[in-house]
Every structure is written in structure tokens, then in C-alpha cells.
A and B are shown apart, each in its own frame.
Chain A
Amino acid sequence: MPTVLIIDDDHSVLKLLDFAMSKAGFQVTLAGDGSSGLEKAQASPPDLAIVDVMMPDMDGYEVCRRLRADPRTANMAIIILTARAQTVDREAALEAGADEYLVKPVMPDELIRLTREVLARPRAAALPVERPQGRIVTVFSLRGGIGVTSLAVNLAVAFALLRKEEIVILDLSLLAGHVTLMLNLQPQLTLANLLGAEVEPDEKALEPYLVRHSSGVRVLAAPPRPMMPSPGSGQAVKRLTSLLKGRFPYIVADTASSLDEATTTMLTVSDLVIIVVAAEVQALQTTLTSLPALAALGHKDDNLWLVLNQHTPQPPLAVQTVEQALRRPVRAQIPYEPALPQAIQRGVPLLLHKPDSPMAAAVAKLAYQIDKHLEKK
């Protein structure tokens, strides 16, 4: 069933076209303004979009230009439907990238006929529009319970706020993933369906797996029940990250406290690895033993960032002790935040729950530093 997105600020038009086009056999999605239309088109690219010109927040020509500029939607069919009926308006619509132009008032039958005609035209497989590849930041520690997931979630939110774009977080804690819990999300589809899949998913097939959070973070969730990474999960992780890099500016990975195949692959393909350490002897010892393994994956020192997470109010060791023991500088310190357990319990990231807290500020600063660091590369 062909999918059609209708973008119009007139609700009576949306209602009428929804009825007429659904009856004609199209799967219809509606958007009441240009911005939400763009979001819906990018989230799930339809076969064709019908776009009004005279809309308050963003006119239809601009919507058309943005759809054509985005590789995800560059190749979809577009019909401009407008009350502006001059020859110059038709030229403006075609210049903006529309396939066809129709003047209101129009009979639904005429629009349906044109929709079918446009959809029947051969289209290029893809337009040669390139988007810069996204960056992968993996948050890792072999010592569990020191705030790796909490840091990963808040870091993803910080990236989304910084970039004002959607960011994806990949929950690779296959035995006990808690990302969706911290964001109060209930995913229907998880990594369990993808890692075991025999067929390679494409970008469109991946879309239903990316659960949306209001902060701009999309979550590829860990399985609801513990799952042992199967042989070949490394290849699956490679394929997934390759797809996600073409779509999101940042992929934040929350990893398991082990060096299983999926985690090792994730660490290998990362642009930057955050090694989370706590100011306690056990965490130091675990980190010390994991550093050679990380170096063996080919990462240079400037892409292995040590981040000290003060997950207890009074850590037993000083930051200097940590640096001396690990023989590398601590790139960032995340201070203890008493409101964190409450934020987790409510399923709200601390950056949104208490944005003026020292911890939120530290995470936002860390996101900024990473962004600048990776921008230079």
C-alpha cells in the first residue's frame, strides 16, 4: 500500500484528504505544519508527500527544499497543493523540488489521479546527497554499578540539546539493559530482534526499532530478558552502527561490563571511548586491567577518555590518586548528585530533571568537549 504524507495547516483539508485518499487505498499520515511534516517524513519516509504552500511556521517551498536536501527523503515524490495559482508559483514549486503542482480548489479525485500518476513514474534509486557520517561514542567500564548507563543516557541527552538534532543511544547491555527504564520508555522491538535476524535491516526497516524520547534521543533498546550475545553479534553491531552513522550525528553506546563480541566490536568501531571509573580501589583495579585490552583494539590515547564518576557522596580516593594509579589524566569529573536516584526512579534524565545541578552541568560540558574534539578529527 503506497504511503502518503499530507502536510497542510487547514484541518478541514487534512480531514477531507485523509478520508478520500484512505478510501482510494493509500496509507495516509497527516501533519498540521511544516516542521512536524518534516519530522514525520524523516522518521518514516513516505512514498509521496502532498505539501501546502501557505503554512505559518514554514512555507511549503521550504519544506520541499528540506525534504530534497535530506538523503532520507531526497527521492520521495512531492506534490505541491496551493491556493497561489500564478505561473510563477508553479515555477517556484518546481524549483523547490516538487514533482507536480496543483491549485486549490481541487476535487479529491483529481488529486488521487495525479498522486497515482506521480507514483507510477520511475524514480532514481537515491539522490547523490551526502550527509556527514555520525560519530560513535561508547561509554564503558568493566566494573558494574558505577553509573555507566546513567552517564550514557545523560550524555546522549546533552548531545541532543547541543546539536538540536536527534541522537541515538544503543543499549548493548544485553544481559540487563536499563536505558529504557531511565527514559521511561516501553519498546516493542529491541536489539534481540535485530541481532538474531538473518536478513540485514535497511534504514527503513530499522525505523520501528528506534524508540523516540521527547528529549530528541532515539533508543535502540536492549532485550527485555537477558540475552547471551550470539556468535556473529559483532557483525550485526557493525552493520547497525554503519546504518546509524548515516542517519544520526551521534551514536552513544551503553555497553555491558564485559568484553563479549558485541561490546568488543562496539569499542572497535567507536570514534571515542569513555572509560568510566569510580574513585574506589575495585574500580581502579578493573580499569587498570582493561586498559591494555582497549589499547589492543587500536585506539590511541586521545580517543580513550577517562571520566571519573562520583557515584557516592564521599569517594574514598582523590582524583590525583586515580590519575597516578592509571597513569593517565582524568578528562572530566562528574560530581555526586543526590537527586539522581529520584530522576532514575521517575524515568527522567537528570539533564531534564535538574538541569541546573552540578552533575548536569558537568555532563553538558563533557558533551561539548567531545563534540569539539571529534570536530577537529
Chain B
Amino acid sequence: MKQTVVSAGPSGYVTVDFFSGDYRVSAQISVRNRTVNDILNDKRVSYIEIFDAYISRISQPGYIVGSHHVALLRKDSISFAVVPAEESRPSGQRAYRYGGKLLYQVFLTLPALEVQGKVRTASKLDLYTFLVTNVDDFVVLTEPLARVANFPDNTFSGESFLVNRLLITMFCANDQPEQAE
């Protein structure tokens, strides 16, 4: 018999860990029929409305310094968001651009953070295209791990990261891709 899962939030909401500057914000966002990828990459809205926001400093990321029922986050200040795999992909017509069977191991830096993970592409990874001419502001990283530069013991992981391309200060990739299943 199929069991109902004890979910992380009300139906239609997804719990996301946002990293913005020196802060970690665990909150819920309303996705309805979209995904977190859709919402972060929606260029018509520069803010994201979050609910039940629990704030920690990235120097002490397990310690909650404050909580608020409602808050707004500036999308351009979000370094990356930790999301479930199904929320990292776009829905609808944008989905076709996220296919591909090549997985490139990458290393990138964001303000105060260093991040490693894998980028999926359909053809050879072109750093310029990926970083400069990409249409989406938030790019997907799988098998990700982030480390706080000043507190290297503080690491963050998850199924997927959505990384703010515009805040990437350095982007490195391996030459040889792996074949995705």
C-alpha cells in the first residue's frame, strides 16, 4: 500500500535553503505548477517571496538567529539555493534545454564560498556560452558541495544547487566529461 510522505511543508510549497551573502535562509516558497528553477529564472520578477524563513549566519549555519513568517529575497543577491532534484529543472517549454548526457566536473567560486559539482550538457562544455551568453541566471549543479571560504569546516550539500551565474567569480571545468546514465 502506498504511504503518504511526511512532507517538509504544506502542499504546493517547497522548502529551500538559500545562501545570500553571509546568511543562510531556510524557507518555503510557493511553486504551484512551476518549479524553483522556473521561479528563480523568471526575469519579470526580481524578488522572491518566501514563507516561514529561518535565518542563520554562514559562520554558524546550524544556529537559528531569527525567524519570520514572510520575507522577500532579492534574486540577484542569492548566491545559490539548495533544492530537491525535481525542483532544479525547468518545467514546460524551457525543459528541452536541460537534456544532455555529458557530465562535467566543475569548480566555481562565489562571494565567500567555493562550490564543486557537476554540470550536465548535450555537447562539449563551452565556458563562455555557459557563463556569459546563458539565458538563465540560475544554473543547475548536481552532486554539489559548497564550502564557506573562511570557515572551511562548514559545508553544504543537497540533491541540486541552483547557482547564480551572475555572482560566479571563477568557473573551472574538467576537460573530459563523464557519460550520464
Contact = CB atoms under 8 A, between A and B. Distances in A.
Interface of A: 10, 12-13, 16-17, 20, 53-54, 56, 59, 61, 81, 83-89, 91-92, 95, 104-109, 111
A12 B26 CA distance: 20
B6 A86 contact: no
A86 B158 CA distance: 8
Closest A-B pairs by Cβ, 9 of them: A92-B62, A83-B8, A88-B62, A83-B15, A104-B8, A105-B5, A88-B61, A105-B7, A106-B6
Interface in B67-96: 67, 69, 82
Contacts of B67: 54, 56, 59
Interface hub of B54, B154, B156 (most chain A Cβ within 10 A): B54
A104 B63 CA distance: 19
A85 B158 contact: yes
A95 B61 CA distance: 13
Contact of B15 (A61, A91, A92, A104): A104
B69 A83 contact: no
B64 interface: yes
Given A54-B52, A56-B69, A91-B62, A84 B4 contact: no
Contacts of B82: 85-86
Contacts of B11: 12
Given A54-B52, A54-B67, A88-B62, A107 B26 contact: no
Given A56-B67, A108-B3, 11 more contacts: A13-B7, A53-B54, A54-B52, A83-B8, A84-B17, A85-B158, A86-B157, A88-B154, A89-B62, A104-B15, A105-B8
A20 B5 CA distance: 11
Nearest to B153: A88
Interface residues of B, number: 26
Contacts of B5: 105-107
B9 A83 contact: yes
Contact of B6 (A13, A56, A84): A13
Given A56-B52, A59-B54, A108 B26 contact: no
Contacts of B4: 16, 108
Contacts of A84: 17, 26, 54
Nearest to A88: B62
A104 B6 contact: yes
B56 to A, nearest CB: 8
B3 A10 contact: no
A86 B156 contact: yes
B99 interface: no
Interface in B123-178: 154-158
Contacts of A106: 5-6
Nearest to A110: B6
A372 to B, nearest CB: 36
A108 B156 CA distance: 26
Contacts of A16: 4, 6
Contact of A108 (B6, B8, B9, B157): B6
